[in-house]
Amino acid sequence: MHLRKAPYCLVKAPGRRGPAPTLEKNFIAGAGAPIVYIVYIMKNAKRLFLCAAALALCAAETGTLSAVLDWTDMKIDVSVAARLDALGLALPAGRVQAGNALFDVYYAKITRFLYAIPVDSSSTMGDLVERGELSPAVVDDIILNARNVPPTMSSDLRRVASSHVIVLNEVQQALMEHGGEPADFERLINPPAVPAYTGLVVIADAALPVHGRQSSAYLQPCLFPKIWDAQMNLVYDKKFVNPEVFQHSTFVHYAASESVFRRTPSGLSPELEKIVGDKPLKIIARGVFGARPTDPVIDAEDALLILASQANRALLREGRVALISSADALKLRFSE
C-alpha cells in the first residue's frame, strides 16, 4: 500500500502529563481519510501503547453519530451514517473503504460520549482519564470490543450506515478498584430483629431535596452510585459488593416507576422481580446527594432494616439492589 506523508503535528493526549508526543499523519491512498496514530513510550514501561488518537479526521467531519445510553439495560446503542459522496467514495470500489470510514467516525465521536458518562457524584470517565486514574487504552478497548453490526447501504446506494452496542457492565469491570474480598459493613451494636427480604428497592422517581443545599433535583443515574442514610452514613457502595457480580451483571439496577407498581403478587415487573425477588424491602428516598445528584438518601430506620441482618446484608453483596428513577433520567442521548 502506498503512503504519502502529511505534515507533522503535535497532539496532547487526554490525561497525559509532560510534552505532547510526536504524531505523524499518513494518508492511505484511495481511502479518502487520514489515519492518525500516537505511540506512547512510557518511562519504566515494558510495553508500547499504540493508541488511535483521532482516527480519520476527514471522515469524522462528514459522518454523523447518534447514541442512546439506556440505564435500565446498561447498554449504549450507537448508529453511524455518512453519504458516500461526502466521503469521496463511489461504488462498487468504495464499499470496503466506506465501512472503514464509518468505523473511524464511530471511534472518534463515541470517545467523546464515553468521556462524558458520569462515574459517580463527582466524576465522569473523562475526569478519571484527566487525573490519570483511567488509561485511555482502557477506553479504547471498550470501544473496540463493542458488538458491531456490519455496514449496510441505503436503498438508493447513496448512504452507508452501521450500528454498535457498548455494554456498560464491561465499563464497570474496567473501573473496579478492588478485586479481592469486599469491604465490611459497619458493625451494629445490638442490632434489632428484622424481617428477611429478597432484595432492596429504593424509590426516587420524584424531585427530592438535595442534601446540604436549598434545592431539589431528580436522581441522576451513574456507573457507581452510593446509598446514604440521613446521618450520611454509607449504606451501599461498590466496595461492599462481591467482585464476581460484575462479571455477569451490575451492582445497581435502574428501573422506571412503572416497574414497581404492577398488578402482580410482588407488585414488580417480571424483569425487576428476577433481580430483587418477590419480597424486597421497598424504601422511599428522602433526598439525593452529590455535586451531581446520583446518590439517594434514605431514613436511618430504613437502613437498619437491611443492615441489621446478615442475610439481608448478603443481598447487598450480591447486587440485589434497584434504584427507581424518573423515566426522563433513564436515557442519556448524544448526537454529533
- The pLDDT score that the predictor gives to residue 100 is 78
106 DSSP assignment: H
Per-residue pLDDT for 302 more than 70?
Answer: yes
Query: Domain boundaries in the chain?
Result: 3-175, 200-334
231: left (phi over 0), alpha (psi -120 to 50) or beta: alpha
Per-residue pLDDT for 71 more than 50?
Answer: yes
Q: How confident is the model at residue 186 (pLDDT cuts 50, 70, 90)?
A: confident
How do the residues of the chain divide into helix, strand and coil, expressed in percent and rounded to 5?
Answer: 25, 30, 45
Q: What is the pTM of this model?
A: 0.78
Per-residue pLDDT tens for 233-278?
A: 999 999 999 888 887 788 899 999 999 989 889 999 999 999 999 9
- The pLDDT score that the predictor gives to residue 92 is 64
- The pLDDT score that the predictor gives to residue 98 is 72
- The pLDDT score that the predictor gives to residue 245 is 85
Q: What are the distances in angstroms from CA 43 to CA 7, 20, 40?
A: 27, 14, 10
Place of cell 483511567: 134
Separation between Cα atoms, residue 309 and residue 71, nearest integer Å: 30
Q: What is the CA radius of gyration of the chain?
A: 24
Per-residue pLDDT tens for 86-130?
A: 667 666 656 667 777 788 888 889 999 999 999 999 999 999 999
Among residues 63, 240, 78, 246, which one has the least CA distance to residue 159? 63
Q: Residue 3: helix, strand or coil by DSSP? A: strand
Give the mean pLDDT of the chain: 80
- The pLDDT score that the predictor gives to residue 246 is 82
93-97, 158-162, 237-241, 317-321: which range is least confident on average?
A: 93-97
Q: Residue 78: helix, strand or coil by DSSP? A: strand
